C-alpha cells in the first residue's frame, strides 16, 4: 500500500489569500515584512517542500516494494538451499543439520492429545466447587 501523499490546507488557503490580496494591490506592503512578494515566496517555498516530500514518499514506496520482492526471493532461495543440501547429503545427515534443517532422527512426532509437559511433571490444580447448600469444597 502506497503511503498517503500530503496536501496542505494551509497552502491552499494561502494561495487563495494571495490571489485576493493581489487584487487589492500587487505591491502591497503592510509593514514588518508583510509584503505580497514575501508572502508569494513563502508560498512557493512551501509548495516546493511539499512536492519534494511527496516525491520522497514515492521513492520510499518504490524502494519498499523492491525490498519486499527481494525478501521473497531470498526466502525462496533459502528454502531451496536447504532442500538441495537435503537432496545431496540426505535429510538425516549431519550436513543437513549444519545447514539449519532438523535431521529426521531428531524430529519429534507429536500425537493428538499429547501434552507438551514431560510426563513426570504433571501439573496439579485445585478447583473450588460450590454445592447446592452454598458450601464451598476444594477438590484436587
Under a CB-based contact definition with an 8 Å cutoff, are residues 50 and 6 in contact?
Answer: yes
Per-residue pLDDT tens digits for 50-92? 999 999 999 999 999 999 999 999 999 999 999 999 999 999 9
Tell me the per-residue pLDDT of 13-22, one tens digit each, with 9 for 90 and over: 999 999 999 9
| Helices within 25-136 (DSSP H only) | 36-89, 94-98
pLDDT-derived band at 139 (thresholds 50, 70, 90) equals low
Per residue in 78-131, pLDDT (tens digit) is 999 999 999 999 999 999 999 999 888 777 876 676 665 555 555 555 556 565
Interval 21-48: pLDDT, tens: 999 988 888 999 999 999 999 999 999 9
Q: In this predicted structure, what is the pLDDT of residue 109? A: 74
What pTM value is reported for the model?
Answer: 0.58
Question: What pLDDT shows up at residue 38?
Answer: 94
Helices (H) and strands (E) in the chain, counts: 3, 2
Amino acid at each position: 500500500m502506497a503511503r498517503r501523499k500530503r496536501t496542505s490546507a494551509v497552502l491552499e488557503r494561502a494561495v487563495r489569500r494571495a490571489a485576493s490580496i493581489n487584487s487589492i494591490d500587487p505591491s502591497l506592503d503592510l509593514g514588518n515584512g508583510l509584503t505580497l512578494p514575501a508572502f508569494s515566496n513563502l508560498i512557493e517555498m512551501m509548495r516546493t517542500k511539499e512536492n519534494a516530500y511527496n516525491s520522497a514518499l514515492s521513492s520510499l514506496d518504490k524502494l519498499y516494494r523492491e525490498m519486499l520482492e527481494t525478501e521473497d526471493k531470498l526466502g525462496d532461495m533459502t528454502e531451496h538451499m536447504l532442500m538441495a543440501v537435503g537432496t545431496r547429503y540426505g535429510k538425516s545427515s549431519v550436513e543437513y543439520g549444519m545447514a539449519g534443517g532438523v535431521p529426521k532422527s531428531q524430529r519429534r512426532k507429536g500425537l493428538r492429545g499429547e501434552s507438551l509437559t514431560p510426563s513426570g511433571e504433571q501439573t496439579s490444580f485445585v478447583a473450588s466447587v460450590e454445592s447446592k447448600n452454598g458450601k464451598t469444597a476444594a477438590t484436587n
